[in-house]
Amino acid sequence: MTSPTNWRGAVEMVRRTMTAVGRQQTGLYPIEGIRLHERALRAGLTFELTILAETLAQEKSPRLQELLTHLQPATRHLQPVPDATMAALVNGRDLGHLISLVKIPPDAPLADAVKAVTRPLVLVAQEIVDPGNVGAMVRTGHASGITAFVAVGVSDPYHPKAVRTSMGSLFKTAVCHYPDVTALLPELHQLGIETVGATADNGVPLPQAHFSERGTAVFMGNEYHGLPDDLLRQLNRRITIPMAAGVDSLSVNAATAVILYEVGCQVSCVKYQAMSSPDT
């Protein structure tokens, strides 16, 4: 990427990455705000371009001064921009008027991501439309110890809203992309990973479900339509979260959290039983 020669060029580069086409063309995605920059630096990321509001560049708070000290050697080009321009870019968000562009990493091959893990846990986001949900699922998955996050179809973990909502978990999570499940399902089968689909009804009640010791891929479906029937028929089984009468579903991120927690409890229980065994 060629560094811009003025603040207008820098702002235009940032604007481009706020669209899917722009991210695809540039290979970059934006991160915004002081906290996200702190977490990106701790994760070892470097930046192609950083813009910040002129008043922020002049601020003397110890936290910001420390951030700028670490940021300057980590970015190829640091550009102050007028406050009004930055305010228009952040659209009222008060995260710290600071935006950097980061290279979208190459896809982590799923086989490589799971090969060193005894019991892999893969979270599959199947056609999740709202980038806020995608980012929340990345954060929930990271907290739940997933081995990889698989984005299928329109699910976009590098959308600016998804990046913000992930709160830095994106920087520490192996991400794989598939245009659809055509190649994903055979790969999971070849790796010996059980495929489980979340459905609002007609699945095994989650408290009664038992997950494979060889690994589990949890498929979470579109916010409006869930997982399509033809996909559910190809999965090893379905699971359903029991809910109060009159409630037909949870939000996709809440359902993800409940299911991953249950899988994690089973893994922890197996580990505890192994450690408690008189033969160990």
56 Cβ partners below 8 Å, 6+ apart?
A: 64, 86, 96, 97, 98
| Higher pLDDT pick, 181 / 274 | 181
Q: For residue range 202-216, what is the model confidence (pLDDT) as tens digits?
A: 899 999 999 998 999
Take residue 50 and report the two structure tokens written for it: 């950083």
Q: For residue range 215-274, what is the model confidence (pLDDT) as tens digits?
A: 999 999 999 999 999 999 999 999 999 989 888 778 999 999 999 999 988 876 544 344
Q: What is the pTM of this model?
A: 0.91
Give the per-residue pLDDT at 199. 94
**Angle ∠(211,214,220) on CA atoms, nearest 5:** 50
Domains of the chain: 7-103 (3.30.1330.30), 110-276 (3.40.1280.10)
Query: Residues 63, 23: contact at Cβ < 8 Å?
Result: no
Give the per-residue pLDDT at 4. 67
Q: For residue range 46-100, what is the model confidence (pLDDT) as tens digits?
A: 999 999 999 998 888 999 999 999 999 999 999 999 999 999 999 999 999 999 9
Give the per-residue pLDDT at 274. 41
Q: Return the DSSP state at 195.
A: E
For residues 126-146, one letter each, b for 16 or more C-beta atoms within 10 angstroms of the residue's C-beta and e for the rest, the string is bbbbbbbbbbbbbbbbbebeb
User: What SS3 class is residue 154?
Assistant: coil
Among left, alpha and beta (phi > 0; psi -120 to 50; other), residue 123 is beta
Q: How many residues does the chain have?
A: 280
Question: What span, in angstroms and rounded, lies between the C-alpha atoms of 17 and 30?
Answer: 6
